[in-house]
């Protein structure tokens, strides 16, 4: 029987995961979180970036280029 690969996207990214996904630094990301350029939520002690917000930021970057 062949194995199926199921890909599940996260609903939100940690700051570290966002940095890796976007190819940006942690310091730059926190600067953008502070100025509101990237939306985030806080859950417990973690800062999370909803995947939708990450995609919105990326779309805006593409438009600006």
Q: Which residues pair with 43 in a beta bridge?
A: 46
Select from 25, 6, 17, 26 the least CA-distant residue to 54: 17
Find tokens 């995609």 and name the residue.
55
User: For the whole model, what pTM was predicted?
Assistant: 0.80
- What lies within 8 Å, CB to CB, of 51 at 6+ separation is 9, 10, 11, 12, 13
Quote the CA–CA distance of 49 and 55 in Å, as a whole number: 10
In tens, the pLDDT along 7-60 reads 667 799 999 999 999 999 999 999 999 999 999 999 999 999 999 999 999 998
């Amino acid at each position: 029987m062949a194995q199926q690969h199921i890909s599940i996207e996260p609903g939100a990214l940690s700051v570290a995961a966002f940095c890796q996904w976007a190819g940006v630094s942690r310091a730059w990301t926190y600067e953008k979180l502070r100025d509101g350029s990237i939306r985030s939520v806080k859950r417990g002690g973690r800062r999370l970036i909803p995947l939708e917000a990450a995609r919105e930021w990326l779309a805006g970057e593409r438009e600006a280029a």
